Amino acid sequence: MKTDGTFMLPSASSTIAGEVDSLFYFIFYTAAILFVLVIGVMVYFVIRYKKKDNDDNLTSSVDHNNILEIAWTLIPAILVMVVFFWGFKIYMKMNVIPSQAMEIKVTAQKWFWSFDYPEGINVTNELTVPVNTPVKLLMSSQDVLHSFFVPSFRTKMDVLPNRYSMLWFEATETGEFDLFCTEYCGLSHSEMIGKVIVVTQEEYDLWVEKESVIDESIPLDVLGKDLFKKKACYTCHSLDGTRLVGPTLKEIFGSEVRHTDGTTAIVDENYIRESLLEPHAKIVEGYSPVMPTFQGQLKDREIDGLSAFIKSLK
């Protein structure tokens, strides 16, 4: 069961979330109390010691008060030390990855997440993991800086090109949790949204089994339609004729396209296959070469499925 968040924070659904929240509340309430104290005393003094019209005498000059000065130096120093050591303890916990953690490879690219499981499964934007199991994410980016953020797990880490960053978490309850890209990464950054789906170990095993086999009984165009959504093609291609980052796929099958190098081509199965595996081989006139390659992410039957789906949009 997914617990609700509080007024200030989303649900706390990982092993470290509770600790992060305690520290957050400690800092928050300490700051709130100090704020009220300091402002309160200030307002009181302003009123209490207001210069009276008939009061010509100057106030006697008080130069210092040892007890007061020691108090207002020591108390904040102690508070800062508490916050430092408390924070450091949680920071270490967040960064030391348990050795038995299961490992998933995360690839960020404009503008979706793809997840590679040890079993050879590849999925887009939906990270399915078992509950009460430490999960290690090995992350890298295909293009620009992205950042992996799951608010309910209180976990966030930058994802960089040409370098791996790592993160781990252990979900403490089942349910669906928001996954955001929290580093501005271009035009459709706001659509780089995913989900972390936390299930029981039994459900996870079933999921792995189901994802590992390709279901040959699904008609190709249905499979394609499903992939269009699953592989996040929709972030760049519309189906209704609207121009997004990429050209619409409506009625392109059988039509003639112009490329930036002046050549033309008729859209057929081979053309679509090439568009998916080597998107930069030919660039459609008026567009930029930003389509990612799906080499290694799509099986042959899935490419057939996408072709059949695009064909059905005629």
Distance CA 181, CA 199 (A): 22
Contact pattern from residue 229 through residue 248 relative to ligand HEC, giving x for each residue in contact according to CB under 6 A and a dash for the rest: --xxx-xxx-------xxx-
Number of residues that bind ligand HEC (CB under 6 A): 27
- Residue 120, sorted as left (phi over 0), alpha (psi -120 to 50) or beta, turns out to be left
Residue 111 or 168: the one with the smaller Cβ distance to ligand HEC is 111
86 binds, among ligand HEC, Cu ion, none (CB under 5 to 8 A by kind): none
Residue 76 or 289: the one with the smaller Cβ distance to ligand HEC is 289
Residue 98 or 219: the one with the smaller Cβ distance to ligand HEC is 219
Distance CA 110, CA 279 (A): 14
Question: Using the rule CB under 6 A, is 252 a contact of ligand HEC?
Answer: yes
Q: With contact defined as beta carbons under 8 Å apart, do 142 and 107 qualify?
A: yes
Q: Mapping DSSP to helix (H, G, I), strand (E, B) and coil, where does residue 134 land?
A: strand
192 binds, among ligand HEC, Cu ion, none (CB under 5 to 8 A by kind): Cu ion
232 binds, among Cu ion, ligand HEC, none (CB under 5 to 8 A by kind): ligand HEC
Please list every residue from 76 through 115 that binds ligand HEC, using CB under 6 A: 110
Sequence letter at residue 124: T
Question: Using the rule CB under 6 A, is 192 a contact of ligand HEC?
Answer: no
Residue 26 or 234: the one with the smaller Cβ distance to Cu ion is 234
Provide, rounded to whole angstroms, the least separation between the CB of residue 126 and ligand HEC.
15
Nearest to 214 by CA among 302, 140, 290: 302
Distance CA 144, CA 139 (A): 13
Report cis status (omega within 30 of 0) of the bond before 113. no
**Which positions lie near Cu ion, rule CB under 5 A?**
146, 181, 185, 192
Distance CA 46, CA 60 (A): 17
Residues in contact with 262: Cβ distance below 8 Å, sequence separation at least 6, in sequence order: none
Question: Using the rule CB under 6 A, is 289 a contact of ligand HEC?
Answer: yes
CA dihedral 83→84→87→90, nearest 10 degrees, is -130
Judged by CB under 6 A, the stretch of 46-54, 136-144, 171-179, 269-277 that binds ligand HEC is 269-277
Nearest to 125 by CA among 143, 153, 148: 148
252 binds, among ligand HEC, Cu ion, none (CB under 5 to 8 A by kind): ligand HEC
Please list every residue from 42 through 61 that binds ligand HEC, using CB under 6 A: none
Residues in contact with 259: Cβ distance below 8 Å, sequence separation at least 6, in sequence order: 265, 282, 283, 284, 285
Please list every residue from 203 through 232 that binds ligand HEC, using CB under 6 A: 231-232
Provide, rounded to whole angstroms, the least separation between the CB of residue 294 and ligand HEC.
5
Distance CA 175, CA 131 (A): 9
Residue 20 or 310: the one with the smaller Cβ distance to ligand HEC is 310
Query: Applying CB under 6 A, which residues contact ligand HEC?
Result: 110, 231-233, 235-237, 245-247, 252, 257, 267, 272, 275-276, 279, 283-284, 287-292, 294, 306
